[in-house]
Amino acid sequence: MKYPFTLKSYKSKCLEGNLNVPSDKSISIRALILASYCIGKCKIFNLLESDDVLNTLEVIKKLGIKIEKKKNYYIIHGNGGHYEEPRTELYFGNSGTGVRLLAGLLSSSNLNATLTGDSSLSSRPMLRIIKPLEKMNLIMRHNNGFLPIKIKKNNNFTLPCNHKLTSGSAQVKSAILLSSLGAAGKTTILEKVGSRDHTEIMLKYLGAKISKKAEKITLESPNFLESRDIYIPGDFSSAAFLIVAGLIISRSKITLKDVGLNYYRIGLIDVLKKMNARINIKNKRKLNDEEIGDLEVLSSNLKGVSFTGKISPRMIDEYPIVFIAASFASGTSVFKGLEELKVKESNRLKVMYETLRLLGVKIKMGDSHIEIQGGKNYNCNTKIKTFDDHRIAMSSLVFGMASNGSVEIDDMSMINTSFPKFKETFEGLGAKIKFI
C-alpha cells in the first residue's frame, strides 16, 4: 500500500543514544516456518512485525496452523508437518525468504498449493530452488522460472538428495533442507561458498539430525522437531543503516543492543573496519545458539577500500548502505563480484549507481563491479526513485542525513518490509527526517 506521504531527510548534527534495533527478519520468518513443523506449542519472543514476516504468518495460518498473539510473544501450535491444503493462493507480498523456504517445505508435504507475490517478488528468479527440488521427485509448475509456483502432490514420495551449491545462497540451501525434513534417508549439501546458516542453527536447536563438517551439510530424515521457546535477536541488516549513519555523521556515538552477530551476516563490519571505522563489539553471547552482542559506533574518518566478491555472501543485503559509506570516505573504493545484486528486490547494482550519480557522487559501474570516489560536501536536494526496494529507500535517506542538503524518496511504504519504525528510530537518535 502506497501512502499519500513520504519521507525526506536533511543534514543532521549528530546521532546519540542507546537502542534496540528491529528484530531479525530472516530469523523471524524461519522461526514461524519451523515452529509450524514442530510437535506442540512454540513461543516466539520479539518476532518482527514487518510486512514480510506478517505475510509469512498469514500463509502459515492458511495451512491450518493455529497462531495466538500474546502481549510480548506469539504461540505457534505446530502440527508435526501435517498441513491442511490451502483453499486460496498463498500470497507472500515481497518476501523472497518466505516464498522460497515454504516452497521447499510444502513441496514435500503432499498437498496442492499456489504460491504468489507482489510485482517485485514476481520478477525475481525462482529456478535456483525449483531445479534442485524437482530432482527430489517434487512436482512444481511455474511461470518460466517465476511466480506463481504451483506445487502438486507427490504421494509422499520425496527423495533425499545430494546437491552441490554453485553459489552462496542461503535460500536455496534452506529450501532443500526443509523439503528433506520428511524424506526417508540422508540429504547432503556441499557448500563451497559459505552463506547464512540460520536454518541449520535453528534446525539443530529444535532437535533435527543435522551436522556440518567442513563444506558438507548432512540432514538425516525423517525428523520430528521439538517445541521450544525461540527468541529473535536484533537484525544486523537493519542495524547496518544505523551503523553507517553513526560513522558518517560527525560527533555521533550510538550503542545498538542485542544485535545478531552471525558470522555469515557481519561481513559489513569487516569492510567498515578496513575503512577505518570505530566499531566496538561488547557483551558477546549466545541466544538460541545464535551469536549476539552490543555494537558501539563512533563517527569516523573513513577511507577507501577494495574488496573482491569473496565477501559478498556475508554482506549481500548491505551493499547499498556500504556504497553510502564509501561515498563519504576519502579516496576510492572498489567492490567486485556484485552479480547477485542484480536479482534482489531491484537491480541494486544499477539502481545504486544511478542513485549515487544523481546525488553528486563520482561513480563508475561495470558488469559486476562498482567504483566510488568518496567526498564530503554533497549539496544535494534530490528526489530518489526507490523502485519498491526498501534498502534503496533507507540508504538514500541516510545519505541525506550526512549531506549538506536533503534527500526525498518517492515512496516510503516498502520500508515496512523490514524496518517499520525507521523514521521514529532515527529521530530518537537526533536525525533530521520528516514526513512530507
Q: Which of 317, 367, 389, 410 is catalytic?
A: 317
Q: Reduce the DSSP state of residue 85 to 3 states and report it.
A: coil
Residues 11, 255, 420, CA angle at the centre, nearest 5°?
Answer: 65
In angstroms, the CA 127 to CA 119 distance is 17
411 is catalytic: no
Region of 288 on the Ramachandran plot (φ > 0 left; ψ -120 to 50 alpha; else beta): left
- Give the closest residue to 372 by CA, choosing from 388, 384, 356: 356
Instruction: Please identify which residue in the block is written with the cell numbers 524424506.
Output: 183
Pairing between β-strand 432-435 and β-strand 381-384 as defined by DSSP bridges: unpaired
Q: Reduce the DSSP state of residue 229 to 3 states and report it.
A: coil
Cell output for 341 = 545484486
In angstroms, the CA 351 to CA 116 distance is 25
End-to-end Cα distance, the chain = 17
DSSP-derived secondary structure letter, 339: G
Tell me whether the omega of the peptide bond preceding residue 148 falls within 30 degrees of 0, making it cis. yes
Burial class (CB in 10 A: 0-12, 13-18, 19+), 14: middle
Beta strand extents in 89-213 (DSSP E only): 90-91, 113-116, 139-143, 146-152, 162-165, 185-191, 210-213
Which residue numbers are catalytic?
317
